[in-house]
Chains A and B, each alone.
Chain A
Amino acid sequence: MAALSTARCLFRSYSRVKNVQKSKQILMKCSVRTFCSETQDNAPTDNAKPSFSDPAVQDVLTRITGLDLQKVFRPIKQELKPPAYQLMTDKQLEEAVDLATEQAKKLLQMPPVLPERKPINDVLCEDKMLDGMDTAKYVFTDITYNIPHRERFIVVRQPNGTLRKASWEERDRLIQVYFPKSGRKITAPLIFEEKNLKLVYSQDRHEDVLDLCLVQFEPDSSEYIKVHAATYENLDKHGKYDLLRSTRHFGGLTWYLVNARRVDGLIVDMLKRELFQDAVSLVSLFHMVHPHSESAQEAASQQATGIDLLKIYAQKESQRSGYIELALQAYEQTAAEGSAA
């Protein structure tokens, strides 16, 4: 009799064990949220205006970003290890360089550019009878492991009895408390204040600021967009585009400038460094995004490619047309001399 009941107990608890193990396996297979996965889902293909995540736009931006291996793999602040030397044949060296280019492409993955998120003002319940129940708010977080952070339930019960959904800032803070991400702080670092940002810009460390911003804030939060806008403005004002070339932030910078129609500085910089193909792709991107501008219509009517695109752009849109035309003339001369010789 006792044996039968213990056997029944064993059977019941074994079924419980099985379920717990299965859920543990599900937990193990849970994957980390990657940056660009969301944008691919929720960016609709807009025929009227191409968005940041369109494949054509991304193509152009990756080409303009460039792939300077020396700059991508330059020494970052990390733990000091003695260098490892390997003896390789030429073929092995090529393979190693290929692997390095692939890894560099992964490192250069562009963070998404999303519109600013709308504030949450959802009230779930108003209980007047709970008024004055406590002096502090109660914040309830759902810690279920395998739901994405965007869909998590975080609700606040206020002392006057209303049960509302938590605002975006509260959400970010609490998700950092219960699911900490390395590098992110609960309160934003002081570097993101106005005067500290100015100091950082004077030291030419725009890239570090943008990396910190990427780690700390969500891509659609207002602080992220503000910091990025301020950094891009500063870069445009001083013409320091080369700081971001061959980093993952160059695409974002170009997209911001193209949307603001202030591409002149960037084109001048490219021409100075003799990156004519990049300048051509940049102008074609500009025409893609602003198809109703004069230069875009002119280019479409003439079906221009290459240097002609740049000439049309210089005549129609830009304010510094003189410099661009001079540079184009010099390029054509050198190309003619090169082909003649």
Chain B
Amino acid sequence: MVHLSSLLLKKYHGGYVVLRLALAGHKQANRPFYRIVAAYNKRARDGKYIEQLGSYDPLPNIYNEKLVSFNFDRIKYWIGCGAHPSKPVAKLLGLAGFFPLHPMTITEAERRRAQTQRTETATGTEETVEEGQKPVEV
């Protein structure tokens, strides 16, 4: 039910609707949990939203899964109404296969791979340095 106040708000701010992550339960420290939400652009991140469209739990569970839920029916509706998804939501939808893959996801994957390679070569050189040192000491 759209109340008169929110119409005035929209007219007043001239804002648009976004699909973004809102932090839920933000009174709990060190345990983030996000709601995927359709809200007006100018509203506070955790403030009043129009509709909740899903959830995202960034911490993996005992099965090493990060649980994400999407209400695709309503997401299609809001995108049809002209809502803009934010970058993290676009990335998640790309990973889900609903959107095409976000370029930053690929870039991040490449950066991670380069990082792991660098640490591997670093540990490799460290080990060879240690082996080199030991016979010298003995």
Contacts and interface: CB of A to CB of B under 8 A. Distances in A.
A13 interface: yes
B70 A131 contact: no
Nearest to A125: B97
Interface in B17-75: 54, 60, 63-74
A132 interface: yes
B129 interface: no
Contacts of B92: 138, 140
A170 B69 CA distance: 14
Contacts, number: 100
Contacts of B7: 6, 9-10, 13
Contact of B66 (A17, A125, A137, A142): A137
Contacts of A125: 97
Q: In terms of DSSP, what is the predominant structure of the interface of chain A? A: mixed
B17 to A, nearest CB: 10
A13 B67 contact: no
Contacts of B97: 124-125, 140, 155, 157, 163
A178 interface: yes
Contact of B64 (A127, A137, A157, A163): A137
Given A141-B67, A155-B96, A156-B65, A133 B72 contact: no
A16 B2 contact: yes
Interface residues of B, number: 35
Contacts of B109: 129-133, 161
B118 interface: no
B110 interface: yes
Given A10-B7, A133-B109, A133-B112, A143 B65 contact: no
Nearest to A8: B11
B113 A174 contact: no
A48 interface: no
A138 B2 CA distance: 34
B105 interface: yes
A177 interface: yes
B81 interface: yes
A9 B2 contact: no
Interface string A139-173: 11111110000000101110001010000001000
Interface of B: 1-2, 7-8, 10-11, 54, 60, 63-74, 77, 81, 92, 95-97, 101, 105-106, 108-110, 112-113, 116
Given A140-B97, A155-B96, 20 more contacts: A5-B11, A9-B11, A16-B81, A21-B1, A130-B101, A131-B109, A132-B116, A133-B108, A136-B64, A137-B60, A137-B63, A137-B64, A138-B68, A140-B68, A141-B69, A142-B71, A144-B72, A157-B96, A157-B97, A163-B97
Interface of A: 5-6, 9-10, 13-14, 16-17, 19-21, 124-125, 127, 129-145, 153, 155-157, 161, 163, 170, 174, 177-178
Q: 10 tightest A-B contacts by CB? A: A136-B60, A133-B109, A140-B96, A144-B73, A141-B69, A139-B65, A143-B71, A132-B113, A143-B69, A137-B65
